[in-house]
Amino acid sequence: VSLGLRLFGNLYAGEIIFILVAIMYGAGLLFAPLAGLIQIVWALFHILIIFLQAMIFMVLTVVYMALAYQNDEAH
């Protein structure tokens, strides 16, 4: 549960930054070109980070489940 909540929090924070940049884009002609550039750079960075976090959390989940179901009986 904690891994899922942490992943959700990280993804949600990235989306909030998208919203803040969109507000900056709507602030006027002075900020629009800068906000457009930031939006493209942030989108590429965010896609990379989402992929890496999902992969890391998937591996951690598999490790935690393997440890939880580990059987120490010797036959």
Residue of 10, 17, 25, 49 with catalytic role: 10
- Annotation marks residue 35 as catalytic: no
Q: What's the chain's length in residues?
A: 75
Q: How far is Cα 27 from Cα 43, in angstroms, rounded to an integer?
A: 20
Which of 1, 2, 71, 73 is flagged as catalytic?
Answer: 2
Helix (H, G, I), strand (E, B) or coil at 74: coil
Q: Is 59 a catalytic residue?
A: no
Catalytic residue among 3, 6, 34, 65: 6
* Residue 6 annotated as catalytic: yes
Continuous H helices in the chain: 2-25, 32-68
Residues carrying an active site annotation: 2, 6, 10
